[in-house]
Amino acid sequence: MNYCSHCGSSEIAWAIPAGDNRPRYVCSKCDAVFYQNPKIVAGCIPEWDDKILLCKRAIPPRHGYWTLPAGFMENSETTLEAAIRETLEEANARVEIVDLYTVLNIPHTDQVYMMFRGKLVDLDFSPGEESLECELYSESQVPWDALAFPTILHTLKFYFEDRKTGEFPLRSGDIVRDGNHAIFAQRRREL
């Protein structure tokens, strides 16, 4: 951060503001505090019979890799609205949301992924601006080695595992670094 968005001063310090417990950007001139919070990514597992819809990314990061339709929330929208919008933007696909399925924290990127299960309304889908291709895949056809992000890999593993029982509990946990890899660590609620 170079300038205060309140007063325009370049006197920005990385300091612990009074009454807080962690460092933040603070304007030394007008005392404005600038909070940086995690970003929420909302997305969808679009289902059709025994298949799910994946999109091949046309933008960085991970250009050319496959993902579920998902993206950063916009101001003034709900997570459900964001999941529906992202599915429409990336795959020109309309979905009816079934339920929230995964909540995955990624502390090292300051992101929280919230993925919903959704039923495709019809088979009228095509790549949006951010996608090169869109395809329906059964579990055996998923390009597992070409998935864009660990969050997508773990969400799909959970989904296909749960589909065998027909029960889809809310899954939550953390994607954490383990050397050069990102792994899933389930967190249990402490009572």
For residue 45, give its domain range. 39-185
89 & 162 share domain: yes
Q: Which residue has the tokens 């950007």?
A: 25
Q: Are residues 8 and 65 in the same domain?
A: no
Q: What angle do CA 51, 65, 171 make, to 5 degrees?
A: 55
Query: Same structural domain for residues 32 and 43?
Result: no
Residues 127 and 141 in one domain: yes
Residue 34 makes CB contacts below 8 A (sequence gap 6+) with 1, 5, 24, 25, 26, 27
What distance in Å separates the CA atoms of residue 191 and residue 184, rounded to the nearest whole number?
A: 22
* pLDDT at 187 (0 to 100): 64
Tens-digit pLDDT profile for residues 14-50 = 999 999 999 999 999 999 999 999 999 999 999 999 9
Strand order in the sheet with 24-27: 12-15, 24-27, 33-34
pLDDT in tens, 111-165: 999 999 999 999 999 999 999 999 999 999 999 999 999 999 999 999 999 999 9
What is the structure's pLDDT at 188? Answer: 53
Query: Could you say which DSSP state residue 37 is in?
Result: -
Q: What is the CATH number of the domain that holds 13?
A: 2.20.70.10
67 within a domain of the structure (yes/no): yes
Please indicate, yes or no, whether residues 74 and 113 belong to a single structural domain of this protein: yes
* Pair 73, 116 in one domain: yes
Q: Residue 191 domain-assigned?
A: no
Q: Give the pLDDT score at 191.
A: 32
Ramachandran category for residue 17: left, alpha or beta (phi over 0 → left; psi -120 to 50 → alpha): beta
User: Residues 100, 159, 49, 56: is their CA dihedral positive or negative?
Assistant: positive
pLDDT tier at 11, thresholds 50, 70, 90: very high
User: Residues 162-183: pLDDT tens digits?
Assistant: 999 999 999 999 998 888 888 7
